[in-house]
Amino acid sequence: MAISNPPREYDQVKEAKEFEDAMIGVKGLVDSGITTIPRFFIQPPKILSTIKPTNRPTTTIEIPVIDLSDINNNFSGNDARARIVEEIRGASRTRGIFYIINHGIQDFILDNMIMAAKSFHEQSTELRAQYYQGKLGSNAVFMTTYNFRVPTGATWRDSLQVNWTPNPPEFEQIPAVCREEMVVMDEHMKQLGNTLMELFSEGLGVSHERLKEYMEDRLMLTHYYPYCPQPDLTLGTHPHTDSTVLTVLLHNQIDRFQVECGKEWVHIMPLPGALLVNIGDILQVLSNDEYKSSRHRVLANSSQDPGITVAFFFLSSNISKLCCPFPELLSPEKPAIYRSFKMHEHKQARYNIQLEDEPRTALSYFKL
């Protein structure tokens, strides 16, 4: 009787490395006509149990929509700015996520940015590969995120990252197909970020410039979520809170962007012309839990139409910078909830939680 060869042992790191070396991204896999996803994209059982069709939430939540159109109008006794500050404060204390409208960025600029991001990710493999993992040594990096040391599956998305600070990229280093749109969008976001930081500071009762000390840097990420042939086995983005002061999101997701509410994941529907504002971990610490960061994720895309997200992160890239609750917010009645820590400690904590079975946020490492 013939003895069959034993099955080849699966080397997850080797397969993932081969994929990375090919520099094609998940869009390249889709273009190749695959009908099953590589094994290193498959999520662990605990995550799979939350994304199976029978367990997927069918509910959505209505999140606050805050109109910024009258932000500088304080006339006839109508303190519009105070109303906006209070609305932002209320939304930040509860869900930690809200939409803003009439934010000063015209619809055509937002639409152009979405189309430019789509155009980059739908270029030929050869053109995208020029930017893979920073091959050109520039601040523009194309990637499919995967950490070989973490036992969770890779996520079904491609990304283009542009670091605007502390060393801005040369104009020609940004991919030509989305160059002008990215530069225009960054200029608008820089102004919007300053405005939002002032509003958050007013809500806390601290000086206008206080929060700006922690948002020296800006990072732009465009995420591209192509069709996934097995969307119930993977995710578009892992569950996480942002390691930022603040994140502002432009997206065309239909029902795949989700926020954790209690023990449930619920859908956040897009609002045309609006931007989604998300509190980051660092702002939660600085505010001594007055403002809350929200845990969110993106499901894998089961549609032939790609999902596009453009995220703007306001943060400090100084890994030695000290983070702790603002002293002016503390009192015997409201003591500090977090100990002081450096930014690199928060980065390590985010890595550590990926190795654990029970879901929690990086901030749990720093609670007193």
Decide if 240 contacts 297 (C-beta within 8 A): yes
- Reported as a pLDDT band with limits 50, 70 and 90, residue 9 is low
The proportion of the chain whose per-residue pLDDT surpasses 90, expressed as a percent, equals: 58
pTM of the model: 0.91
Buried b (16+ CB within 10 A) or exposed e, 332-347: eeeebbbeebebebbe
Tell me which of 90-99, 143-152, 217-226, 241-250 is least confident.
Answer: 143-152
pLDDT at 168: 83
Least confident interval from 52-61, 151-160, 273-282, 297-306: 52-61
Sign of the dihedral defined by the CA atoms of residues 81, 85, 280, 215, in that order: positive
Per-residue model confidence (pLDDT) at position 155? 92
Q: Is residue 1 pLDDT above 50, yes or no?
A: no
* Confidence at 147, pLDDT banded by 50, 70, 90: low
Q: How confident is the model at residue 48 (pLDDT cuts 50, 70, 90)?
A: confident
Please give the share of the chain, as a percent, with pLDDT higher than 70.
88
Please check the confidence at residue 138 and state whether its pLDDT lies above 50: yes
Q: Is the pLDDT of residue 54 over 80?
A: no
Mean pLDDT estimate for the chain: 87
Instruction: With cut-offs at 50, 70 and 90, classify the pLDDT of residue 7.
Output: very low
Query: Is residue 160 predicted with pLDDT exceeding 90?
Result: yes
Residues 6+ apart with CB under 8 A from 9: none
| CATH among 2.60.120.330, 3.40.50.300, 3.40.50.2300, 3.40.980.10 for 12-167+176-320 | 2.60.120.330
Residue 355 pLDDT exceeds 80:
no
Given pLDDT bands bounded at 50, 70 and 90, which one contains residue 11?
confident
Q: Which token pair is 223?
A: 């995420």
Q: What is the CA radius of gyration of the chain?
A: 21
CA dihedral 182, 187, 188, 191 (to 10 degrees): 150
Q: What is the average per-residue pLDDT within 233-239? A: 92
- pLDDT, tens digit (0-9, with 9 covering 90-100), for 242-277: 999 999 999 886 668 889 888 788 888 888 899 999
pLDDT band at 74 (very low <50, low <70, confident <90, very high): low
pLDDT digits (tens, 9 = 90+) for 273-331: 999 999 999 999 999 999 999 999 999 999 999 999 999 999 988 888 899 999 999 99
> Using an 8 Å Cβ cutoff, are 352 and 147 in contact?
no
